[in-house]
Structures are given as C-alpha cells and as structure tokens.
Structure 1
Amino acid sequence: MPAPTNTLLIEGTFSELAEELAQYVDNIAKADGNGVQAEIQELLAGIRESEQSQEGGVDESTVKNQKNEVLKKIVTRAQVLNGAPEREFTAAYNLLISLATQSNISDQIFARLCAYLSEHPVTSSPVYGGTLAVQTLTTIFNVLSPASESRYHVFLAILKVIRATSSTQAFEALIPQLETNIPFWLQSWSLDDDDARTLFVAVADVASAQGNSDLEYTYLLQALQTIESKHASDEDSASLARRALITALTNPSITDFTPLTDNDAVIALRRSDAALFDLLEIFSSDDYSAYLDFLETNSLSSLSIPDSAADVLANKIRLLTLSSIAATTPTRSVPYAQIAQALQIPSEDVEMWVIDTIRTGLVEGKLSQMKGEFLVQRATYRVFGEKQWAEIQGRLMVWRRSLESVLTVVRSEREKFLREGVNGGDDAVRANGYGDRDGDNQGYNRGERQQRRGGGGGRGGRRGGGGGGDRERDRDRGDRDLQQNQQREIEVGGD
C-alpha cells in the first residue's frame, strides 16, 4: 500500500504564480524597476508560451530549466518575506513552497528557505515570529516524501527555531512525536552515525533550553551510543561525554549510572578528565564518606559543575549510600544507628532520609520505630557485577534448600496418609462393632438357618405362635445391619 502523500494546492499556472510572487517580493523590498520581477520577465515569456501552446513539440527540458532559473532568482531575494505582514506571511511562503514542488531542484530551494526561517528572525511579528517560522517549516516537512533525506535538514531547522525562540508551546507539541517518530525517521532517512548524533544532540539542546533535563539526558545517551570505539577519545566525543556525565550527576532524578560506566567515550575520560571520572565512580559504587574525601582535594567548579548543584550531589549520594546499605545487609534489617553513621546525619533525621529513598524507588520497606530499624523488602543495586551475581546465587540456593525441605515434609505426610489413612478407617469400622464383610455374611447366614429351623418344625411352629414374628424381626434386623455395614464401608473407603 503506497504511503499517504501531502499536497499543497494553489490555483494558477506556474508563470502566473511566479510573476505574482516576484511582484510581492519587490513590493516588500521596495525595488523600483530593477527587482526580481524584471529579471524573470524574459524567462516567464518562454514558460508562458509553452503553457499556452496547444501543439506538441515543446522541449520539456528547456521549460524545466527556465522554471529552475525563475525559482533561483526569486529564492535569492526571498529572505525579505520574513518582513511580510503577519497576516500575509504564511500565504507568501506557501506560494513559494508550491512553486518549489514543481521543480526538480526543490531540495536546494527548501534548504535555502530553512536557512532563512531558522537563522533570521521574522521581523514583522516579534511576538509570534517563532510560531510562524515553525508552521512554515512544518509545511515544508510535510510536503516532502517520508523517505526524503531533506526532511532531516528541515527537522533540524525546526529544532533550531524552537530552541532560539524558547517556544514552550511548540516544544510541548514536539515531545510526543519524538519517541514515536525518530526511530522511524532514522531508518527512513538512512542516516549515518554522525548525522544521527547531530540529530540527538539537537533534541538535547532544545530540551536543555526548555529546562527538561530528563529529556536532555535521554538524547545525550543516545548520542553517546553512536560513537564508535575507535573515536571514543576524540575531542568531540570527550566533550559530549563530559556533558552527559555532568547532566546525569546534577539531575536529582537520575540514580542509575550504568549506561555511562559502560560507554567507551565516558570510560575514555579516565585519561583526559580523571577527577570527573573518579566522581562518576563514587556515585556509581561508593558512599557518602568517599564523596566527602573527594571534595577535600577537588572542587565542583573545577569540574565545570556549578556550585548551585552542590546540594543536589550531596543529597543524591546520601540516597545512594542508603540504597547500598539496604541491598547488602544480610539480615534485611538495618538499624537506625547504622544509617545515621553512614549518612552522617542526626538520628532523628533517619526516617526522613529513608522515606526520601523510598520515594526515589531505590528501596522498599517498613520503618519500625519501636525497634529502631528499617525492615528492607526490596533494594536496588547500584552496581551489578560478579559480586552481586554471587550474592543472588547464594540466596537462590537458600531458597532452593528451603523449598526442598518443604517438599520433603509434604511428600512424607502424603505417603503417611495413603499408608495409614485406609487402615485407620478399617480399624475404626471394627471398633464400632462392624466386622468385615465375611463376618457379616456369617451372621446373616446364621439368621437364615435359624429361620429355616424354626419354620421346618411344624409343631414347634404351632406351639410358639410368636416365635415366627421374632424370627422375622431377627431377619429384618440382619438385613438392616448388612445394609449399614455396606454403607459404612463405602464411607470409610472414600476416594
């Protein structure tokens, strides 16, 4: 299924629209007689003749060249459109964009227009100039095919305008598009690592200008991932690594430094920026005491970290220290005194720091004021290496042995039930006066013999008139006993 196309519809022939635009440009530039309109008249005459011709035989290549020359002359002076009245600005640029789409040099024309809109202000509207520029650039972006590499340059121009004008509205509208579209654009535009890195850094610059440090760090990390190992020590790579590292350290919400410690460009800072790299190692695996020792020999300003970030760094390293204590404690119970000593805080502030650490998502647990302990339910490892894997292996072995013990007990009880449950039921039957089935049958047979014996003696039967009734009652009682015994056996056997 073909991709949807974006179309800009403007009525009129090329010659009519070009002449109208040239006249408008001359009016804004206040050119009298020697403007762009005079320069393109001869070219327009040839184009007009081809448009009006009803006969074939028109040299299309010649007409295309004439159109290209007309557009070049108009675009050369089109910067004056930035001074067009606000109500006419969009219409004038849309007309120029429409003419450019009819040319085979549209990419060159759009590149020049992007420069006009991103590098020069819209002087006719100091307040809404940035918005007008972004709207026009968006129009250019949309008329291009999705796979066009020119979209890459247009998008960079859009980012540049948003950054220069600090347009919060435009930035908020841009954010939802980034996560969804950028991966698709990178694939469609077939960008190499350098171009992709330029795009990521441009997004990070816009986020930084808007004060969105989380988004800035996200795209700085993506930019770092485009650096090949052989270029990790280059100056540009080192500069980007320093920026990403400082952004991570000074951002209160970033507590996972693994993406930085695993990056080649950041690791290369060990040689060029040893102190900054040492600070990264403290925040990734060390504690508050080590941080204080570091500050005794290094200042934050010497690392290009503003002094205003000192409180952020101190708070963060305390939270990370508490997380490490919770993750490494063997008993899952941390005394308040241990926390106070590690964080170098008063005992009465321990609960506040624990609550703050829980809020960051580093730990989960409960505070026991009576015992003066923090009961750890979950803790995040700051560094996950061989030591942590060994610890997890040990815990899994303990859980395995516990489960094996439980299974052994369950299996033993099940076998005991299967072995003793049925026998115990038979004993219960006998204890209640119900014998086995053979015994019951013997009793029943005795009753029958007694009945036959009593019924066979004629005289005895006549003399004991009530004896027959007794024998009938005995037989009925025997039948009921047999039925009860059979029912009771079914109940005991069970399923």
Structure 2
Amino acid sequence: MTTVVPTSEEDPALAVVRFTSELAWADAGPEVSARQVTGLCLEAQERMVMNKWLELASLMLTSADLISSKVSEKDLECIFTVICNLVTKSESSDEELEMAKLISGKISQQPNDKPALRLKILFNLYNLLENPYSQFHVYMKALNLAFNGKVAEHIVPSFKKMDGFLKEWNIGISDQRELFLTISNVLKENKSSAKDSFKFLTKYLATFSGEDANTMSEAKEEAVRAIVEFVRAPDMFQCDLLDMPAVGLLEKDAKNALVYQLLKIFLTQRLDAYLDFHAANSTLLKSCGLVHEDCIMKMRLMSLVDLASDESGQIPYSVIRDTLRINDDEVELWVVKAITVKLIDCKMDQMNQVVLVSRYTDRVFGQHQWETLQTKLGTWRANIANVISTIQANRVVEDNSQAVQGLMIR
C-alpha cells in the first residue's frame, strides 16, 4: 500500500493532488492517466499561486472522494490532514468559514464509512480553526456524524466542557437550540445517559422563553417528549418544566393538554390524583410508552415528599399508609426508599408511629423556592453575624477584666 510522504521538493498539497489523481486515473491507461494527472497538478499549482485556497480545497476533496475506498485509513487520514491544513492559509474569517463548511461537509457526507476516522479528522480540523463560528460549525458536523455513524462515545466526553465552548463560540439562540437538541438526541440512545439527555432537552426548551406563541410551537414535540421522559425516569424527582413557556403552551393545546396535566400531577399532586387520571386516560399512558406500575411507584415517592413538606416536620404512619395506599407493614419500607434516593432525611419514631423529617427535596424548584432559600440564607447570615458580635464582645470584656486584675496585683 502506497503512503503519502511529503518531501521538501514538493508542497504537501501538490503531493496529495498527484497521489490521489494517479490513483483515481490508474485504470484509464498510462497515456490518459499521465495527461489527467499533469492537468490536475497544473490546476492545483495555479490555485496555489493565486492564493485560491477554497478552490484548491474543492479540487483536492473531489480527488480524495474518488479514492477513499482504495486506500488505507492511515493514508486517508494523511490526505485529509493536508487538506484540512489549508484553512490555516485563509486570509479572512469568512474564507475560513467557507473552507470549514466545504471540508467538514465532505468528511461527514458518508457517516457509515469509517466513522471513527472521519470523526478524528473533524477534530483535527476543529483544532486548526481560529474563527469561533467555524469551530462551532465543524463541531456540529462532528456531532451529527457521531450520531449517524453510531460512534457517539468519541464525542460524549466533550459535553462536560459545553459551558466553556458556548462562551468561546458566542452563538445565537437559533444555533444554541440546534446544539442542545442534537446533544440530547445523541445521549438519548444510551439509557445510562438519560439524565444528561433530559438536561440538554430542558436547555433547548429554555431557549424559547420570551418568544411568541408561534415560535414556541416549534418546540411542541420536544416539550411532550420532555414530560414523558421525566415521568418515565425512575430516578428523577425534580424539574422546572412547569416554569417553561414552551411547556406551558401545551396546557391549552387540544392534542397535548392531557400530557401537561400528567406533568402537573407528578409535580404538584399526590397518588390519588394520578390514579384518577389513569382511570380516565389509560390509553394515553400506553401510547406514551409509560408503564402504570412504574408510575405508581414514582408517585408514591413523590407523594411522600409532598407529605414531608408539611411545616410540622412530622408525618404519622397512618397518613403515609393512606396517602400511598399501602399496608401498615410497608410504611417504613417506603420511607427507607425515599431516604435511599435522597428525597428526604428523617428519623422513624416507631414508638409514636411518626416520621420526623429534617430535610426534603422540593419537586419543583422555581421562583418561590429561590426566594425561600434567599430568606433562609439571610437568616443564617444574620445569626452568624450575631454570634461573631457576641464572641467579640465577650473577648473585649475578658481582656478588660484581665487588665484590671493585673493592676490589682501590682
């Protein structure tokens, strides 16, 4: 297998043009092949002399595409490394962006052909770019390639750095929506990434805040999906979907109003409300892929959290039994389950048949919860300040007392 090895006698780009054209025309016979190779090399040289790097990239990509199935992965990577390097010669951000679009578009065109290698090449291209928007464009191509080529594991680690990327790219709302939704779809394929998928889906929905009803309607399908994913997830008990306008739009939507009602039940009501809803809408739950028994288990935990939010901090066993619709001997079992998933911190007073709650997790954390937290922090800060003042006052008194004692001894 021939490998491209750039030498000092010929420009790497010209060497790639010669190598790819020779391989592309190898079956046409010596005379035809020599004529075509010479013509392509002269054409490439003209573009190099005139600094027409975008046209040169187009020429090289066409040749590379013709021979991609005939060379090893190592050769293909070498060829595209030279092509990608052309972006460093661009004379403006606009030219760099056009070259990035051209090259990344060609690389990602066949996601099922050597997807891991193509993804690696796109990462290399990304690192050569200086224009933030060019980087974003290439990243989106890599994201879609990873999804369509089923090699998402190579790009998922980068999601942890997304906040930093967003600051660097400084992209608009429309691009943010595309980014968040694509990431959510990539993660959705992996069951172990359900929480992260939901997180980026809610980021997507949050971008519609402040938009008109017509624009928000674009997110209707994803809003329904977010509700279903939250209800289905056995380990998610808190979300802010109810505060999102794109989700709130479903309340008055004839087709999806019941789905919105289901969300309100899970976030603001108890098991009895869910059972009534199921009795009237069992078909809807099945169409959404929701399992009734799983919903009951989750609603029992959600209902227990609601009971824990009582200001008294005490829940009688009998109230838990009746609210969760369980037997007496199951009460402590469900309390332990709630503790295990960190929904509540409490002690069980078996003698008095009471659960003493010291902490609970709010099902909804919106404006009211933020205000309550601010009040608690303000109180805590004031208490600390009082403690510090008392300590300082006592220290002054103690120092004065020691000074007086010293004078008396003298």
What's the TM-score once normalised by structure 1's chain length?
0.65
Work out whether residues 334 and 373 of structure 1, in 8 Å CA contact, stay in contact via their aligned partners in 2. Answer: yes
Aligned to 2:51: 64
Aligned to 1:289: 272
Aligned to 2:348: 367
Aligned length: 367
Aligned to 2:260: 277
In 1, the alpha carbon distance for the partners of 2:330 and 2:371 equals 34
Q: Deviations over 1:181-229 (max 9, x none)?
A: x233323323110001111111111111222111111111111121143
Work out whether residues 326 and 376 of structure 1, in 8 Å CA contact, stay in contact via their aligned partners in 2. Answer: yes
Work out whether residues 15 and 47 of structure 1, in 8 Å CA contact, stay in contact via their aligned partners in 2. Answer: no
Work out whether residues 233 and 268 of structure 1, in 8 Å CA contact, stay in contact via their aligned partners in 2. Answer: no
Work out whether residues 233 and 265 of structure 1, in 8 Å CA contact, stay in contact via their aligned partners in 2. Answer: no
Q: How far is the alpha carbon of 1:289 from its aligned partner?
A: 0.4
Work out whether residues 114 and 137 of structure 1, in 8 Å CA contact, stay in contact via their aligned partners in 2. Answer: yes
Q: Deviations over 1:246-278 (max 9, x none)?
A: 222212222113x21111101111112210110
Q: How far is the alpha carbon of 1:368 from its aligned partner?
A: 2.8
Query: Which residue, out of 354, 367, 371, partners 2:335?
Result: 354
Query: Which residue, out of 82, 99, 120, partners 1:109?
Result: 99
Work out whether residues 85 and 125 of structure 2, in 8 Å CA contact, stay in contact via their aligned partners in 1. Answer: no
Aligned to 1:429: none
Aligned to 1:94: 81
| 1:49-88 → structure 2 map (5 Å cutoff) | 63-65=50-52, 67-80=53-66, 82-83=68-69, 84-88=71-75
In 1, the alpha carbon distance for the partners of 2:372 and 2:174 equals 42
Q: How far is the alpha carbon of 1:82 from its aligned partner?
A: 3.9
Aligned to 1:161: 145
Work out whether residues 345 and 359 of structure 2, in 8 Å CA contact, stay in contact via their aligned partners in 1. Answer: yes
Aligned to 1:206: 186
In 1, the alpha carbon distance for the partners of 2:72 and 2:110 equals 16
In 1, the alpha carbon distance for the partners of 2:188 and 2:109 equals 19
Aligned to 2:171: 191
In 2, the alpha carbon distance for the partners of 1:42 and 1:214 equals 55
Work out whether residues 137 and 158 of structure 1, in 8 Å CA contact, stay in contact via their aligned partners in 2. Answer: yes
SS at match of 1:306: coil
Work out whether residues 15 and 44 of structure 1, in 8 Å CA contact, stay in contact via their aligned partners in 2. Answer: no
SS at match of 1:366: strand
Change (3 A) 1:214 1:28: farther
In the alignment, is residue 130 of structure 1 matched against residue 130 of structure 2?
no
Q: What letter corresponds to residue 20 of structure 2 in structure 1? A: Y
Change (3 A) 1:37 1:88: same
In 2, the alpha carbon distance for the partners of 1:388 and 1:106 equals 47
Aligned to 2:397: none
In 2, the alpha carbon distance for the partners of 1:297 and 1:253 equals 26
Work out whether residues 17 and 40 of structure 2, in 8 Å CA contact, stay in contact via their aligned partners in 1. Answer: no
Aligned to 2:391: none
Aligned to 2:304: 322
In 2, the alpha carbon distance for the partners of 1:360 and 1:207 equals 23
In 2, the alpha carbon distance for the partners of 1:229 and 1:191 equals 18
Work out whether residues 61 and 106 of structure 2, in 8 Å CA contact, stay in contact via their aligned partners in 1. Answer: no
Q: How far is the alpha carbon of 1:305 from its aligned partner?
A: 1.9
Work out whether residues 144 and 151 of structure 1, in 8 Å CA contact, stay in contact via their aligned partners in 2. Answer: yes
Change (3 A) 1:231 1:79: farther
Change (3 A) 1:295 1:277: same
Work out whether residues 267 and 363 of structure 2, in 8 Å CA contact, stay in contact via their aligned partners in 1. Answer: yes
Change (3 A) 1:143 1:390: closer
Work out whether residues 282 and 290 of structure 1, in 8 Å CA contact, stay in contact via their aligned partners in 2. Answer: yes
Unaligned runs of 5+ in 1: 1-8, 49-59, 124-128, 404-489
SS at match of 1:378: strand
Work out whether residues 64 and 79 of structure 2, in 8 Å CA contact, stay in contact via their aligned partners in 1. Answer: no
In the alignment, is residue 267 of structure 1 matched against residue 254 of structure 2?
no
Q: What letter corresponds to residue 206 of structure 1 in structure 2? A: V
Q: How far is the alpha carbon of 1:156 from its aligned partner?
A: 1.0
| 1:167-186 → structure 2 map (5 Å cutoff) | 167=151, 169-171=153-155, 174-175=156-157, 177-180=158-161, 182-186=162-166
Report percent identity of matched pairs.
Answer: 22
Change (3 A) 1:134 1:345: same
Work out whether residues 10 and 95 of structure 1, in 8 Å CA contact, stay in contact via their aligned partners in 2. Answer: no
| 1:327-346 → structure 2 map (5 Å cutoff) | 327-328=309-310, 330=312, 332-346=313-327
In 1, the alpha carbon distance for the partners of 2:185 and 2:172 equals 20
Q: How far is the alpha carbon of 1:47 from its aligned partner?
A: 6.7
Unaligned runs of 5+ in 2: 384-404
Q: Output the aligned Cα RMSD.
A: 3.6
Change (3 A) 1:387 1:118: closer
SS at match of 1:119: coil
Q: Deviations over 1:222-242 (max 9, x none)?
A: 111211433344432212222
SS at match of 2:282: coil
SS at match of 2:326: coil
SS at match of 1:299: helix
Aligned to 1:144: 129
Q: What letter corresponds to residue 131 of structure 1 in structure 2? A: A
Aligned to 2:207: 226
- Higher RCO, 1 vs 2 (CA within 8 Å, ≥6 residues apart): 2
What's the TM-score once normalised by structure 2's chain length?
0.77
Q: How far is the alpha carbon of 1:243 from its aligned partner?
A: 2.0
SS at match of 2:362: coil
Q: How far is the alpha carbon of 1:244 from its aligned partner?
A: 1.9
Aligned to 1:452: none
Q: How far is the alpha carbon of 1:71 from its aligned partner?
A: 2.9
